[in-house]
Structure 1
Amino acid sequence: MQGVDEPSRAPRLLFSFNSEDDVQQFATGCDADIGGTSTVNLGVEESPERNKSIRKHTTGKFWGEMRLNVKPGMEGKLRGGYAGFRNKAWIVLSHDQLRPTLFGNLTEDVSNHQYLALRLRVAGDPSTHNSYFVNIQTDGPLTTDLWQHRLYFQRSDNTWEDIFVPFGSFVRTNSGELTEDQITMYRERVRSIGISLLGGKSGVVGKYELGIDSISIVNDEDVNKTPSTKPQP
């Protein structure tokens, strides 16, 4: 009898941003949804000059303007300065491919991999470069929990780079605040992954732009640079 196969440690692509259909897997939001004035867009970038180095025709682009002021009548009721995107619910198309569905949530098991790998290109006003975060939501005890890690970019020249974030370095937040009880992330059932720009806490304003090519999961043997493990704010 054939034994049980060992869990695969091979790099695995979770999301690509190389077509309109890919980008449609994601939902966007910003503080303007509840009375702020920031803007948010997520679309495709078909610039041969920008995408040539990674040999892609199309990549994703997340852009807009980060603003801290709010609409009349909302002063003192909310803090502006937020924009982000995350994947919609998942559906299985094959054993190794997931796509969005309106019929309920499926989850992703990332417990056999050590890092979340993101291929990104940071542009826009330099003041916005240090305010990006990657966010993970799981099927843990509190579905309102969000596991968060700041994205630390090594490049500032509008070119692509690979960022590797250890799953063990994410911190648990709730309602935008760090929780006192820092439990282990429930990596066996990940519901959503996304990126946000948080300007409210640090007073960051300006035009922002982030190119996105892919989001994957990898292990030590796949990491070709120092992981992003700087202390969280």
Structure 2
Amino acid sequence: MSRLRSLWQASIQATKRALAGSWEDLMPPNEKLLFNFNSKDEIKRWHLYSDSELGGLSSASLEITDTDVGAPLTGVFSGNLSLDLNDGSTWRMKRSGFCGMRSKRFDGFMDLDSYDTVAMRLQGDGRSYISTIYTENWVNSPGQQEDNSWQAFVYVPKGTWHVTKIPLDRYLPTWRGNVINSNLEMNPSRIVGMSLSVNAEGGVPGAKTGPGDFRLEIDWIKALRS
């Protein structure tokens, strides 16, 4: 009888270990690498935009640093912000002085439902940048084709590498750069793209503003689970 009880207890313990192992296997890692700017192939995943598409004179580039052999590679998003317009432009722009880098639309969706934070390792220039997450369109009217956008400011002190962490619940719903005054929640399981952008005006208090050059160095972008 005691032998049967021992076998029964051993079977229960083995089942518990198996279930525990399976549960750990199902849990996602604590962090997920989204973008890594350590090769020139990373540039192919992004495209640039600026007010120049609407008659403005701002310009931007995205390059991988050309450093000494053996040194780690990083991405450099840089350019010039201008508040001027092309002579004879037919566009009626309400504001100029902006540039951005946006990831090409994902093949399907990026699912970050198991994570609660976006982290970036950056070296800035004293300006305030904007991190945008684009999700599948469900907030706007059915006839609206644009992706939903959720934005948060990113500020990194000048001249130092810094890991900035932005909780997903800090991203606010926006429409063409303006915050939507509505109680909406992001669906992190249906992300279709991300971007980093910069404006000549606005941003967090104390950040550099106005027209002129900008430069943001990017090492990586990750999703974190606390």
Taking structure 2 as the reference length, the TM-score comes to: 0.78
In 2 relative to 1, CA 87–56 (structure 1 residues): closer, same or farther, beyond 3 Å? farther
Partners of 2:164 and 2:213 in 1: CA distance: 22
Q: Give 1:200 shift.
A: 4.5
* SS of residue paired to 2:52: helix
Q: Does 1:218 find its partner at 2:221?
A: no
Q: 2:151 aligns with which of 148, 161, 166?
A: 148
Q: Is the 8 A contact 2:55 2:91 kept in 1?
A: no
Give identity over the alignment, percent.
24
Q: C-alpha offsets along residues 188-210 of structure 1, whole Å, 9 cap, x if unaligned?
A: 11000110002245762110000
Partners of 2:71 and 2:132 in 1: CA distance: 25
Question: Which residue of structure 2 aligns with residue 190 of structure 1?
Answer: 191
1:1-233 equivalent positions in 2, closer than 5 A: 6-48=26-68, 56-74=71-89, 77-78=92-93, 79-90=95-106, 105-123=107-125, 126=126, 129-130=127-128, 132-141=129-138, 142=140, 143-153=146-156, 155-156=157-158, 158-201=159-202, 204-220=210-226
Question: Which residue of structure 2 aligns with residue 98 of structure 1?
Answer: none
Q: Give 1:14 shift.
A: 0.6
Question: Which residue of structure 1 aligns with residue 3 of structure 2?
Answer: none
More helix, by proportion: 2
4+ runs deviating over 4 angstroms: 1-5, 200-203
Q: Is the 8 A contact 2:33 2:220 kept in 1?
A: yes
Taking structure 1 as the reference length, the TM-score comes to: 0.76
Partners of 1:199 and 1:85 in 2: CA distance: 15
Q: What is the alpha-carbon root mean square deviation over aligned residues?
A: 2.3
Q: Report the AA paired with residue 134 of structure 1.
A: S
Larger radius of gyration: 2
Partners of 2:88 and 2:35 in 1: CA distance: 40
Partners of 1:168 and 1:25 in 2: CA distance: 26
Q: Give 1:71 shift.
A: 1.0
Q: Report the AA paired with residue 133 of structure 1.
A: I
Structure 2: tracts of 5 or more residues without a match: 1-17, 141-145, 204-208
Q: Is the 8 A contact 1:9 1:113 kept in 2?
A: no
Structure 1: tracts of 5 or more residues without a match: 91-104, 221-233
Q: Is the 8 A contact 1:140 1:186 kept in 2?
A: no
